[in-house]
Amino acid sequence: MATHFNESGKWHDQDCSLSYPVICYKPIPPKAGGFRVSDQDEGSITLQWNKINISTSFVLQFNGTETLIRAADGDGPVNYTVSSLTVGTKYTFTLFSVLDGVRSSGVELTTATVPQNAEDLRITAQFETNITLQWNKVNNNTSFILQFNGIEKFIYAPGGDGPVTYIVSPLNPGTSFTFTLFSVIENIRSSGARLTAATVPEHPSNFRISMLYDTNITLQWDKGNASFVLQINGSETNISAPDGDGQVFYTALSLTAATRYTFTLFCV
């Protein structure tokens, strides 16, 4: 008996005792087409590819293991879910078509499970034109995308230990922003952690006395786009932003005649 191979396939064993050669050819099956990811979450990845025929099975190879996937009945693509995977981890899958024990060359696909959200997203500082955000690092392979106001900022995975710090600048003063932070690995995003914060408002402008009496004082200032807290000798009064444009007027009543008062006005 003799076995012969060539570049295009495998020959059956040849019975050399016969007076004439008997040669059977096993062709190499075609590669599976359309090898792709159809779904993924933190612990599993669903792969999909085009079926070849009912006689062709498949071998899926990853992480040093192989899984035989029998030829599926019916039409449509083949779906296979790889489960019990590690969150936020990159995997390389190689898919072989198999017919009569002969494998095709493999098609390869690299993807990742969905990474976990960054934990403890918080504010560490805020000023009139910038806000400093901080969060716990995931690992050295996980980068981040910070989304706010319809724009996205890519933040590379930092080296070393400790939290990640990022300053968002320049921003408008006295403005509320919603930040959404995504962990990213192999272009796969987490569900996103969210935080709403505001820049410090500008100081009220043109703060002045407009009228002065024995027991009350009327104060005046430019409206701006914020509410206000008026502090009088240590006590505080909240003043809502009025409708319309123009000036804000506030009268401090029931004051003691001929007494000195210190007024401090905050935008909020």
pTM of the model: 0.74
- Structure token digits, residue 224: 């701006």
Evaluate the CA torsion angle 67, 94, 32, 187 in order and state its sign. Answer: positive
Instruction: Reply yes or no on whether the pLDDT at 54 is more than 70.
Output: yes
Q: Which of 212, 127, 211, 106 is nearest to 170 (CA)?
A: 127
- Residue 10: what pLDDT? 46
In degrees, to the nearest 5, what angle opens at C-alpha 40 toward C-alphas 35 and 45? Answer: 60
Which one is predicted more confidently, 157 or 98? Answer: 98
Confidence grade of residue 161 (pLDDT, cut at 50, 70, 90) = confident
Task: Give the rounded percent of residues in the chain with a pLDDT score beyond 90.
Answer: 71
CA distance linking residue 197 with residue 87, whole number of Å: 29
pLDDT band at 6 (very low <50, low <70, confident <90, very high): very low
Q: pLDDT at position 204, please? A: 85
Q: What is the DSSP string of 122-182?
A: EEEEE-SS-EEEEE----TT-EEEEEETTEEEEEPPPPSSS-EEEEE-S--TT-EEEEEEE
Interatomic CA distance for residues 104 and 35, integer angstroms? 14
Please name the amino acid found at residue 249: F
Which CATH fold would you assign to the domain 32-112? Immunoglobulin-like (2.60.40)
CATH of domain 122-198: 2.60.40.10
Tokens coding 211: 């009228």
Distance between CA atoms of 133 and 152, rounded to whole angstroms? Answer: 15
Here the tokens at position 167 are 């300053």
